[in-house]
Amino acid sequence: MKRLLIGLTLCLAFGSAIAARAQNLGAWPATMITGSGAPAVTCSATSYNGTLYGDTGSTNVYLCSNGTGGYAWRLLGGSSGGICGSAGQFQYNNSGVCGGTAGFTYVGVGQTAATSTDAMTGSSTVGYQSSNVNALNVPSEVAAQQGGTYSISALIGAVHTPSTSTIHQTNGVMGIIDDYSTSTNAVAGYFQAVAMANSVDVWGLNPLVASASGISGDLLTGVEVDVNIANAGDTARGINVTGAWGATPSVPPPAFEAQEPAGGHGGWGVSFLSDTEAAAIGVQLKPIHFTANSPSQEISLEDYDSSGTLRGGGIYQDATGAIVMASYSGVTKAAALRITTSPPSVLSCATVDTAGNVGNTGAPCPTSGTGSTVTVNGGAGLTIVNLNSSTPSPDSANVALPIKVDGSGNTIVEAPRASASVLGLMECGTGLTCAGGVASVGSVGSNPIWMTDDFLNYLAAYSGVGGLGGVFNWYANMSSATIVSGSASAGANGVWGITTTTTTNAWGTLLANGPTGNFNLFVGTGAALTIAAKVEETTTAAGKYYYGLASVNNAPNPSNFVGFWCDPIGNSNDHWWMQVVSSGTVTSNTDTGIAANAWHTLKLVIAGTGATFYIDSSSVGTATAVAGTYGMGVMAWNGTSTAASINIDWAGIVSTATP
């Protein structure tokens, strides 16, 4: 058997004629006993205690209760107020007058209330029937949420839930029903509101959930719809919005609408949320009509442009199966992009025509093109891309993101330049000839001589004075210091380092080209020299660390020096400084502002006696050096009782001087 389970049905009726009728719910309640005349049965604590007795002859009502004189059948009713019996129904009235309308009326189980009238012009919240558990102040509760407005209710169910409550749930109203009939619609709660005059407002259902101010951590749920399915053959709807319309509304109403909450504190985080594993389809839009050639319902989009004008757009599927993304001018489509085909079975050319249709040719692209058409063929086996431009123009910086190809000359006019991390083109630099795209060495006199040592050979700990070999015939001079192979790291393969002991004024130097007297790097007229190294100062010991050109290798303070130095504690603020020393006197000393305790590429370019300093390829300043012969190297000197150390990853020398 197929069952239909509906969690919540909202029914809107326009122009319907709905008749109201009262229903007589029967005679005396089932909990009463009846008879003709006064009660003849005994009333006691154990017999009929709390039971009502109805006299079918006089319609008087008696209650078995304990009072003055003990348990007895007591007549209810009379001019002082109480229960008044009348032809199959009874009421309790605070006014003391049976059949009156003032105050609250309490109706017995299974009975219909006496008819009441109210002009509904008062200034209080009134309930004609009420069931109140734990004395909840109903008027105050309503006023707190409705801003001082007043209401009249035919029936009020109120519950005050104390903090000591341990039960699962309290209910102001509960409707429970079961159904064994295949012809009866079982509805646990039915609400009906009908507009009977122009411009009135009616609500079929208006729940309100709120939190008192000054508290936190509450979970407020406006409406929860639980649909409990027990059988695979059941059919269910969580919320079903339908109705019976007798006219077409001039303004089509939304079935669901999320509005900004009052109070000026912002809006909802999400208007509609389909949670994880809630459904296989989050949103499903059916065709607009049941007729042929009917497109799908549309997802409507709106925005305000820079001038504040409202613009529209939408996404839908048309009757051909194409996905359409459209923008609108008013209600007229201004432009659209249509995805018209499913993926082809073979590698195919994509197409976009002037009408905005996105499709494919169903076949591979041709291998060449003319006019404004650019085609690419080959797919995964692509080996050649032909970009044909007859007059490409390079930009002012001669660096392009797109490659610019001259089809007439079959040459690349411009492309991104290559770098350490970017694939691109290498320019034909000074001293090279590039005939036919092949770089060649020209005459020896105009070529640079490149020499680099990456320290890839392992170096055992060395604490003496002597040669260590290497590309530049490195020469160590250690005074309470040791030179060892350092630890390789990302971007630093092959590392040598100098580390001093904790002896005060311990130092060590590592210079290229042998001991003092064998230095062969010249500074002076005609000199054209570049040295560079990747260096890292690794401790915070006070003292001095340098990299550059030094005139001696047997002291921490060479008489002539041009290069970089730092002091983690002293006046260098652990920055690399540019320095020139002449005959033991510092003639130039400038802070670069760049921290020395990290890997940096330090470069010194000598032209005559002019020196230009670079850190990580950026120029940081210039100075005038002292003519003479130098050796390239690094030095660490602690100056205190704290060990000092410096690492060097690689070093290079470029000589462009003409022999």
Q: Cα–Cα–Cα angle for 123, 129, 133, nearest 5°?
A: 100
* Domain span at 107: 19-117
Confidence of residue 341 (pLDDT cuts 50, 70, 90): low
Q: Which helix (H) or strand (E) holds 16?
A: none
Count the alpha carbons within 13 Å of 496 in the hemisphere toward its beta carbon.
29
Nearest to 88 by CA among 40, 22, 25: 25
Is pLDDT at 378 greater than 50 in this prediction?
Answer: no
% residues pLDDT > 70 (the chain):
68
496: tokens are 């040598």
Same domain membership, residue 422 and residue 499: no
Q: Does residue 398 carry a pLDDT above 50?
A: no
Beta bridge partners of 611: 606, 623
Name which of 43-47, 227-231, 264-268 the model is least confident about: 43-47
Q: How confident is the model at residue 109 (pLDDT cuts 50, 70, 90)?
A: very low
Q: Is residue 296 exposed (0-12), middle (13-18) or buried (19+ Cβ within 10 Å)?
A: middle
Q: Is residue 331 part of a domain?
A: yes
Q: What is the residue-wise DSSP string for 439-460?
A: -EE--GGGS-EEEEE---S---
Contact 530, 491 (CB under 8 A): no
Q: Is the predicted pLDDT of residue 387 greater than 50, yes or no?
A: no
Please tell me whether residues 399 and 467 are part of one structural domain.
no
Considering the domain architecture, whether residues 596 and 482 belong to the same structural domain is answered as yes
Structure tokens at 30: 């089932």
The number of folded domains in the chain is 4
**pTM for the whole thing?**
0.44
Once rounded to an integer, what is the mean pLDDT over residues 160-186? 94
What pLDDT score does 609 carry?
A: 92
Rounded Cα distance between 551 and 619, Å, is: 24
Considering only CA atoms, which of 320, 314, 294 is closest in space to residue 302?
314
Residue 169 within any structural domain of the chain: no
Q: Are residues 482 and 583 in the same domain?
A: yes
Contact criterion met (CB below 8 Å) for 459 and 483: yes
- Note the pLDDT of residue 332: 64
Per-residue pLDDT of 426-465, as tens digits, reads: 666 665 666 666 666 554 444 556 678 887 776 778 888 8
Average pLDDT over residues 291-319: 90
CB burial class (10 A; 0-12, 13-18, 19+) of residue 110? middle
pLDDT of residue 439: 65
Nearest to 479, CA basis, from 460, 461, 497, 505: 505
pLDDT value for 296: 92
Strands 52-55 and 33-35: parallel
- For residue 389, the model assigns a pLDDT of 44
Let me know whether 582 and 521 are in one domain.
yes
More confident residue, 80 or 68: 68
> Do 394 and 509 reside in the same domain of the chain?
no
Mean pLDDT of 625-650: 87
Per-residue pLDDT band for 14 (boundaries 50, 70, 90) equals very low
Q: Is the pLDDT of residue 293 over 90?
A: yes
Tally Cβ neighbours within 10 Å of residue 511.
28
Q: Name the phi and psi angles at 333, rounded to 5.
A: -65, 125
Query: 66, 93, 117: which is the final residue of a domain?
Result: 117
Q: Residue 633: CB partners within 8 Å, gap ≥ 6?
A: 474, 509, 510, 511, 512, 547, 550, 553
Q: How many whole angstroms separate alpha carbon 551 and alpha carbon 261?
A: 80
Which residue has 């919240």 as its token pair?
A: 125
User: How high is the pLDDT of residue 638?
Assistant: 85
Q: Are 3 and 234 in contact (CB under 8 A)?
A: yes
pLDDT per residue as tens digits for the range 497-549: 888 888 888 888 888 876 655 667 889 988 888 888 888 888 777 788 899 99
Tokens of 526: 């005609």
Residue with tokens 């208007």: 271
The residue from 117, 142, 165 where one domain ends is 117
Tens of pLDDT, residue by residue over 583-595, are 989 999 999 999 8
State yes or no: pLDDT of 254 exceeds 70.
yes
- Residue 192 lies inside a defined structural domain of this protein: no
| Local structure of residue 263 (DSSP, 8 states) | T
Confidence of residue 403 (pLDDT cuts 50, 70, 90): low
The domain that holds 578 is classified in CATH as 2.60.120.200
421 and 459 housed in the same domain: no
* 34 and 104 part of one domain: yes
Same domain, 415 and 497: no
Q: Which of 359-373, 483-497, 540-554 has the highest mean pLDDT?
A: 540-554
* Residue 327 structure tokens: 């923008």
Identify the CA nearest to 650 among candidates 526, 443, 478, 494: 494
Beta bridge partners of 467: 475
String of DSSP letters for 316-356: EE-TTS-EEEEEEETTEEEEEEEE--PPPSS---EEE-TT-
Q: What is the mean pLDDT of residues 249-277?
A: 91
- Considering 85, 117, 149, which residue would you say is the last residue of a domain? 117
Q: Is 130 exposed, middle or buried (0-12, 13-18, 19+ CB in 10 A)?
A: middle
Instruction: Name the helix (H) or strand (E) containing 115.
Output: none
Residue 29 resides in a domain: yes
- 566 shares its domain with 620: yes
Residue 3 CB partners (closer than 8 Å, separation 6+): 231, 233, 234, 235
In a domain, 153, yes or no: no
* HSE, side-chain direction, 13 A CA sphere, residue 151: 15
Residue 496 near residue 645, CB atoms below 8 Å: no
Residue 178 pLDDT greater than 50, yes or no: yes
pLDDT (tens digit per residue) in 231-248: 999 999 999 999 999 999
Instruction: Indicate if the pLDDT at residue 288 is higher than 90.
Output: yes
- At residue 20 the predicted structure's pLDDT band, cuts being 50, 70 and 90, is very low
Average pLDDT of 2-7? Answer: 48
In a domain? residue 269: no
Structure tokens at 190: 């039915």
More confident residue, 337 or 547: 547
Q: Please check whether residues 632 and 579 belong to one and the same domain.
A: yes
Mean pLDDT of all residues belonging to the chain? 76
Residue 149 resides in a domain: no
β partners of residue 522? 629
Strand duo 310-317 + 323-329: pairing: antiparallel
Model confidence at 195, pLDDT cuts 50, 70, 90, reads very high
Distance CA 374, CA 368 (A): 8
Residue 173 falls inside a structural domain: no
Judged by phi (left if over 0) then psi (alpha if -120 to 50, else beta), residue 480 lies in left
Indicate whether 483 and 395 sit together in one domain: no
